Amino acid sequence: MKYLSIIFLSLSLILAKSNKPSMDSFIQSSAQAFYFMERIQNIQAGDIVMCYCNDFLVGSRVWIGTHTDIPAMGNDGMEYTSNYCSEGDIPQFKVQKYHGETIQLYGSIPSWQNNNIYLISYMSESPIPLQYNLENAYPNPFNPSTTFQFSLPEFSEVILTIYNAKGQVVENLINEIYPPGVHRLRWDAAEKASGMYFLRFQTGNYTRIQKLVLMK
Predicted confidence at residue 5, as pLDDT, reads 40
Rg (CA), the chain: 25
Q: Is residue 209, in this structure, part of any structural domain at all?
A: yes
pLDDT < 50 regions, the chain: 1-23
53 belongs to a structural domain: yes
pTM of this structure: 0.72
List the one residue out of 49, 54, 16 whose CA is nearest residue 35.
49
pLDDT of residue 21: 36
Same domain, 110 and 41: yes
Q: Are residues 37 and 83 in the same domain?
A: yes
Tell me, yes or no, whether 92 and 180 share the same domain. Answer: no
**Domain closes at, from 69, 97, 120:** 120
| Domain finish residue from 64, 96, 120 | 120
- Reference 33, options 141, 122, 115; nearest CA is 115
Residues 30 and 113 in one domain: yes
The residue range of the domain holding 163 is 133-214
* Residue 12 is assigned to a structural domain of this protein: no
| CATH at residue 70 | 2.60.40
* Same-domain pairing of 97 and 171: no
Which among 120, 142, 159 is the end of a domain?
120
pLDDT, position 155: 93
Let me know if residue 2 belongs to a domain: no
CATH number at residue 185: 2.60.40.1930
pLDDT in tens, 157-214: 999 999 999 999 999 999 999 999 999 999 999 999 999 999 999 998 999 999 999 9
What is residue 25's predicted lDDT score, i.e. its pLDDT? 76
* pLDDT attached to residue 161: 98
On whether residue 111 sits in a domain, the answer given is yes
* Residue 205 maps to a domain: yes
205 and 143 belong to one structural domain: yes
Same domain, 77 and 165: no
